[in-house]
Chain A
Amino acid sequence: MTQLLETRGVGKTFGRVTALEQMDLVLSQGEVLGLVGQNGSGKSTLLKIIGGLVQPSSGEMLLHGKPVRLRSQSDATMHGIGMVHQEQSLVPNLTVAENIFLDKPNAAKAHGLYRWNRLFDAAAAQLRKIEIDIDPRATVEDLRFAQRQQVELAKVLAVEDLVSHPPIILFDEPTSVLTPDEIRLLFRQIERLRQTAAIVFVSHRLDEILHISDRAVVMTDGCKVADEPVTALDRESLYRLMVGRQRTIRAPRAVETRPAESLTPRLDVTGLSTGRQVRPATLAVAPGEILGLLGVQSSGAEEFCRALFGAEDDVHGTIRLNGKQISVTSPAAAVQAGIGYLPANRHVEGMLKGRTLVENMALTFGLDYGHRGMIVNRRAERRVASEWITRLRVKTRSADARIDDLSGGNQQKVVLGKWLLSRRLQLLLLDHPTRGLDPGARDDLFAVIRSEAAKGLSVIFIADTIGEVLDLSDRVIVMRDGAMSAEYNLNRGDAPSEEDLVRAMV
């Protein structure tokens, strides 16, 4: 195996935060490197340094044995380094072809003039290379999410043609937003590239790491703590290396503690449908119950939750909360009724950017801690928010830090804290709550949700993986094409196998 890239003692500090320390890493041709670590351990920072997006504070990088300084992403591209971001980095109002060549020179746009047909042809060739059928003339924002993800991939893989030597491709949590089919496609590309390129693959799903990588590197607090071939690892050992403690196995909750059969259900939905997706759906959730919703993309699970939260247009059907019919015309109305929603897209729908943790957490229910629920009491809000920050183990410098400065997993915990802060929350809808969370943080999160449920909070939960659903839920409902296709009550020992669930989903 030829060595392509080496980092020597690379470090990065942001103000007083050390994101990365003394990182020595070697990337070789023909190898997939799996990178794991807790939230905020510096994985993204490392990738961004290699990808030219961030300048290291110390250390050096060697490309083919020669030191390099990468000044920008396009600089890295010119050196054959491509990076797939978790958040898509396409320009929505440009065409597919332009996006593919955004960071690369091409004869079709030499001298600053566009020869559109040649550009489209070149893009079509790139798309063909990875067997994708997308019109290079299409505007990116007109594409479906999955198609956009494919364009993103095509854009990165086009660096292959740019350099004569093997390219380096970096993937930062690419799978957390993909469907099984898309993941399969991605892995096929990785398999194809494996021979000719060096690949770094970041994921919080240890199974994926074990499946696709040749070597796993574990990071903690900006340092490398392990670097081993995956053959020497299994899920448990990887988890231990990462989290530094034993994995908690789901303790099946005693059936009798569940008030599942109480007379009035917490939530009772009949004939709920949206203009877009959900066929009339009918279900009930008991107080303190955790209901898992499963379904492939466009199964309607997400629309169902958003409809319950008043965030969908054209919603029909009746919703009863604690037996009383409510009209959820807007998120505000839902909140009023005691329904909370943790969005899948926290950057846009969850966080108030540029605001502190306290401000974020106190936004919705802070007033409950005020005088007579009318007048704001900042001190009380701050105290409660701080309590939750501790309880959720948010890794932060201070409760007054800006939420933007937290790593993704910690941001998610803050957004969750906004809802848990409430004293009158009846129902919490969790839309892919573990997205981007490291396994340890996920366990923390599950523990908190379980304890809140034990106090009577009802939860509807759309999971990232089937494993999660089985881990957390009392009951699982599988959705397909906007309708419910199967139901399993886990507490009754009615545990389905993963195969059963997959069959019900597709």
Chain B
Amino acid sequence: MSQSQPADDRTIQAKPGFAERRAALRRSVPLAVLILLVGLSAIIAPGTLSPAALNGFISDAAPLMILVIGSTIPILTGSIDLSVAGIASITGVMLVVLAPIFGPWTCIVVILLAILFGAFQGWLHAWLQIPSFITTLGTLSMLSGLSLLLSNATAQPLPDSDPIINLLGDTSFDIPNTGFAALALVAVLAVVMRYTRIGRDLFALGAGERAALMSGVRTVRLRSFAFAASAGCAALAGLALVSVTQFSSPTLAGNLLLLSIVGVVLGGTAISGGVGGLWAGVIGGLITAWLRVATVLIGVKPTGQYIVFGIMALIAVFLTTDRTKIGIIK
């Protein structure tokens, strides 16, 4: 075009505006809450920051954190995976059942099975277009029935020579290996999320599925990936759990489902999708793990523990939820 206008009023500012800076501030609230909590507990009970205590905390928090990180991925796309705790539980059961067949490879096989299962359920949800809430509620029911059936509803000792379980149950530099496993998982997933198209597409799906679809995002495949990832993480969490207990049980991960949802939200990930991330999962997982023991740390009477946990969780969510990015809150 010959008579093109000077683009003076249309130049692009490179400097971040006020809104961006405020958003950055908002994103750091969960971390601030975590630091505040840890600081408080250190004041109340100075021993909590001793190496031994921290190691205990890491080994207790690792399964939950892994579960939270896994659950974050489907939630980023706006779906939800309610089957994570069920998968974590059945992992232990499968370990016992399959050990005679696969020997030292059992853990790998179990994780692969979980990933396959997750991919299948993601596919079921996306391809058949069944809401994830109800899909995973259904599979949760089936998984718990199956693990009860397979284990005959009993706790069984793990095969004691499993190399991966032994590795997970061990420590390096006096720090539980499950902690390192969680870190490695975060690192791998972070690279995938940041440097491949998967991460970008996941967020796009959460921000606006139709638009993402019409921009060439493969939604069915991506959902399968998201649920496969969360199932894989859940299986890893299950392995971390049994590496501590050394026994499998069909109800091993019990109420970790609810805690993992709390964890996802506490990290600042929006349940409606599109907002949040792995880092949020890590922080949310740590906050939740801390909340779980906070009642004991601050000496709440046993009858008050539920209430205090509930109220603390609500306050934490109130502080960490970024409402500016969510138009309508359901």
Contacts and interface: CB of A to CB of B under 8 A. Distances in A.
B10 A393 contact: yes
A447 interface: yes
B216 to A, nearest CB: 3
Interface string B1-41: 10101010111111111111000000000000000000000
Given A246-B3, A386-B12, A335 B208 contact: no
Contacts of A359: 203
A349 B217 CA distance: 12
Contacts of B14: 398-399
B10 A354 contact: no
A351 B211 contact: yes
B177 to A, nearest CB: 30
Contacts of B3: 245-246, 248
Contacts of B218: 330, 332
Interface string A360-397: 00111011000000111000000000100110011111
Nearest to B220: A330
Interface string A330-356: 111011100001010000111111110
B1 A248 contact: yes
A130 interface: no
A418 interface: yes
B325 to A, nearest CB: 5
Interface stretch (B108-116, B189-197, B311-319): B189-197
Interface in A307-345: 309, 311, 330-332, 334-336, 341, 343
A349 B210 contact: yes
A299 B178 CA distance: 62
A443 interface: yes
A363 B212 contact: yes
A394 B10 contact: yes
A400 B15 CA distance: 9
B196 A332 contact: no
A376 B197 contact: yes
Contact of B212 (A311, A352, A386, A393): A352
A332 B216 contact: yes
A444 B2 CA distance: 11
Interface residues of A, number: 49
B293 interface: no
A15 interface: yes
Contacts, number: 108
Contacts of B13: 397-398
Nearest to A400: B20
Nearest to B274: A354
B277 to A, nearest CB: 14
A376 B200 contact: yes
A355 to B, nearest CB: 5
Nearest to B19: A15
Contacts of B199: 376
Nearest to A418: B215
Interface in B206-226: 207-208, 210-218
A352 B20 contact: no
Contacts of B253: none
Contacts of A15: 18-19
A394 to B, nearest CB: 7
Interface string B271-301: 0001100000000000000000000000000
A390 B214 contact: no
A343 B7 contact: no
A355 B214 contact: no
Contacts of B195: 375-376
Contact of B7 (A351, A376, A393): A393
A441 to B, nearest CB: 11
Interface in A92-108: none
Contacts of A349: 210-211, 213-214
A213 to B, nearest CB: 27
A25 B238 CA distance: 69
B261 interface: no
Interface string A222-250: 00000000000000000000000110100
Q: Choose among B1, B9, B194 the residue with the greatest number of A CB atoms under 10 Å from its CB.
A: B1
B305 to A, nearest CB: 38
B12 A355 contact: no
Contacts of A350: 211, 214
A139 to B, nearest CB: 21
Contacts of A341: 214
Contacts of A374: 196
B210 A355 contact: no
A390 B16 CA distance: 18
Contact of A348 (B17, B204, B210): B210
Nearest to B221: A332
Nearest to B213: A331
B272 to A, nearest CB: 10
Contacts of A362: 200
B8 to A, nearest CB: 11
Interface string A468-492: 0000000000000000000000000
Contacts of A245: 3, 5
A367 B258 CA distance: 37
A364 B204 CA distance: 10
Contact of B200 (A351, A363, A401): A363
Nearest to B1: A447
B211 A348 contact: yes
Interface of B: 1, 3, 5, 7, 9-20, 194-197, 199-201, 203-204, 207-208, 210-218, 274-275, 325, 327
Given A351-B211, A395-B9, 15 more contacts: A311-B214, A336-B216, A349-B211, A354-B275, A363-B200, A375-B196, A376-B195, A390-B10, A393-B10, A394-B10, A397-B13, A398-B14, A400-B16, A444-B1, A447-B1
12 contacts: A16-B17, A248-B1, A335-B216, A349-B210, A349-B214, A350-B211, A351-B208, A352-B215, A353-B327, A363-B200, A376-B194, A398-B12
7 A-B pairs closest in CB distance: A335-B216, A332-B218, A447-B1, A352-B207, A349-B214, A398-B13, A364-B215
